Amino acid sequence: MLRQILKSFFRQYFYFLGITELFRLIFFLVYFDKCIQSKFSEILSSFIYSFWLDNSATAYLLVFPFFVYLLYSLFPVKAIWNINKYYSFLVAIILIIMELSNIAIYGEWGIKLNYKALSYLSEPLEAFRSARAATLIIAGFSLLLFSFTAIIFAEKMQLFAFKKSKRNLLSSFLWLAFMPPLIFGSMRGSLQQIPISQSQSYHSKSDFINQASVNTMWNLMYSIKENRRYINQNPFTFYTLAKAKKEVENLYNIQSDSTVYILSKKNPNIVLIFLESWSGDFIDDLGSNLHITPGFSKLAKDGYLFTNHFASGMLSHQGISAVLSSFPSIPLTSITKQPEKYHKLPSLTQELKSKNYFTSFLFGGQLNYGNIKAYIYFNGFDRITEGKDFASNIPEGSLGHHDEFMLAKLTADINTYKQPFFASAFTLSSHSPFDQPVSNYTSKGGKYKKMLNSIYYSDSCIYDFIQKAKKMPWYKNTLFVFVADHSHPSPYEFPYYSKDVRKIPLLFYGDVIKKEYRGKTNNKIMSQTDIAATLLAQLHLPYDKFRWGKNIMNIHAPEFAYYGYDNGFGLINPKGNFAYLMGENQVIEYNFANKNDSIQLLKTGKSFVETLYQEYLDY
């Protein structure tokens, strides 16, 4: 009997392990363009370096079978044996779903499947609407194909075939005595003092190779465990909290207020437009050579452009909360998904409402994704309009009403507002699946072609919106603010943690800008979190509630931009920048001319994220 159990047990082990290794190979094939940029020896070695983490993940999957086999050794009936068989099929399907999801998520975010990605399944309809039809078809077909193949393979190879046996208490004893140490030792990685971690699979200077080497299931489970652990514990504890706070206070310390006022009116109307996924890589005025935003360039010639403006986070809800509440993006989690915390944040909307501004927020789709809707409601906008509120005869795309129709409605709505007003809007056409209702502008861009064409379409809509707004009576008294919610991968293919991928547009535009400042640029390093303070300062209003922001128009304001990403953070100032990877406790991007500058900025960055995360926990 013991031989039969061991044979089936190890078949089950290699069955699960084989699925993992197969999808690692598929991952490399899907991202073959990145493979050809890597050493072939490192691609091969990823299958070696990944073994211990794969082995650990597989061991976790074998805990349940261990007890089933123990029960079978005591009661050798087919019904108990088949429990393991169907468990194996279920696990195989779950592994396939995770691996397919990992492949898709890496293409979108450049990271592995983790708890944050999993959390978006709380809005499955929104995730479904965001996906392209072709993507859904391919995903569904792939799931069915691989699941069917996995089950048929197991059946054909008789991996879990039942063979009648007699009860054998010695087999039960030996199984119980020797298998638990093997299983739990594998789960831990070995009997070494330090348990296994993702570091076991890291072996290359290529982030792509290292991520491919990390086991998807293990990474997901670890991500969930770590975030459960940090619900009340600060994972970024580098110094004493008092020391970290002091460093941050020094960072924001400004000796005097010498604000440059560029507006001709103290209480102008404000139209704030969030540009979905507009990376600085797409803007010629910010160094791009893609030539897909001619409308924006025309506006910049008569506006006031911030050329060193960086996104705080990677996702829409992080960018929107950074702008409206001046709260920086934190690694590991998002504050907008937790009402009990974001209710402690300041609100630009509320500050303007207190000065008799009428406020509104307009989006052509549904605001459920990332809990944005609840956060927008927290801000207290007087009017909130979603796609479902549009007239039924207005054309829709997969995500909602495209930018030309949304902006037309924005103009029509503003015509009914009393002045002064604060009208916010959020574009959507430059979000996957990029189904804008026009023919393609460019055939260039490779895998980014659809994205580039969507940006060109959105740009044309923005420019057309401004031309029509100029004919409206409220235009002369209105400041237009265009800012991206976050960046997006581009043909430049900067790493997801790089400062280069974080640069996004910020443009002030309108007749309320003094003539001597039109067509000018501001080259100071700043973040989305600085926008609220900067705007309020231009209106001669207090902004002390927005503690994580600074008035960038104060000539004494410090130049820096912090950004957070899924498993780390970065900091930029005029002397250099760095990006820090939390799990590996290492700096993964480093640009400094002077060593002393690097030591100080690293200290500042660590203090910043420690203080920020503690404040988040205390909310």
Q: pLDDT per residue over 393-412, tens digit each? A: 998 998 999 999 999 999 99
Q: What are phi and psi of 172, to 5 degrees?
A: -60, -40
Strands 358-363 and 421-426: parallel
The end-to-end CA distance of the chain, in Å, is 58
Average pLDDT, stretch 226-243? Answer: 85
pLDDT per residue over 270-322, tens digit each? 999 999 999 999 999 999 999 999 999 999 999 999 999 999 999 999 999 99
Arithmetic mean of pLDDT, 11-17: 96
> Taking the C-alpha atoms of 513, 516, 520 and 526 in order, what is their torsion angle to the nearest 10 degrees?
-60
- Which DSSP category does 391 fall into? -
3-class secondary structure, 578: strand
What is residue 191's predicted lDDT score, i.e. its pLDDT?
Answer: 66
Q: What percent of the chain has pLDDT over 90?
A: 73
Q: Is the pLDDT of residue 165 over 80?
A: no
> pTM for this structure?
0.83
Task: Give the three-class secondary structure for 576.
Answer: strand
Calculate the alpha carbon distances from 597 to 6, 373, 575, 594, 602 in Å: 60, 42, 7, 5, 9
Residues 71-123 pLDDT 10s: 988 999 999 999 999 999 999 999 999 999 999 888 877 888 887 777 666 66
pLDDT for res 603? 96
**Beta carbons of 457 and 403 less than 8 angstroms apart:** yes
Q: How confident is the model at residue 147 (pLDDT cuts 50, 70, 90)?
A: very high
* Three-class secondary structure of residue 439 per DSSP: coil
Q: How many Cα atoms within 13 Å fall on the side-chain side of residue 401?
A: 23
Nearest to 540 by CA among 529, 551, 525, 555: 551
Q: What is the pLDDT of residue 230?
A: 75
Tell me what pLDDT residue 192 has: 61
- Are 280 and 287 in contact, with CB atoms under 8 Å apart? yes
**Cβ-based neighbours of 405, under 8 Å, separated by 6 or more:** 364, 390, 394, 395
115: nearest Cα among 203, 238, 230 = 230
Rounded CA separation 528/484 (Å)? 9
Task: List Cβ neighbours of 92 (8 Å cut-off, separation of 6 or more).
Answer: 15, 16, 19, 147, 150, 151, 154
Rounded CA gap, 538 and 267, in Å? 9
Render pLDDT for 40-77 as a digit per residue (tens, 0 to 9).
999 999 999 999 999 999 999 999 999 999 998 899 99
The token duo for 192 is: 């070494």
**pLDDT surpasses 80 at 39:** yes
Question: Distance (Å, rounded) from C-alpha 27 to C-alpha 402?
Answer: 33
Q: Which residue segments constitute the domains of the chain, with CATH numbers given?
A: 2-229 (no CATH), 255-383+401-431+449-557 (3.40.720.10)
